Amino acid sequence: MLCLVDHLVKFPHLKPMITSLVHSLYNGTIKLTSDLINYVPYCAVIDAVGGIATFSNIACNAVDPRVLALQGPNHNHREISQEQEQDPWPYSS
| Domain enclosing residue 64, as ranges | 12-18+26-70
The conformation of residue 89, written as its DSSP 8-state character, comes to -
Residue at 77 is within a domain: no
Residue at 3 is within a domain: no
| Overall number of domains in the chain | 1
The structure's pTM equals 0.64
Residue at 35 is within a domain: yes
Q: How far apart are CA 47 and CA 53, in angstroms?
A: 10
Q: How far apart are CA 38 and CA 34, in angstroms?
A: 6
> Letter for the amino acid at 24?
S
Q: Each residue of 7-48: pLDDT tens digit?
A: 666 778 899 999 999 998 888 887 767 666 667 788 899 999
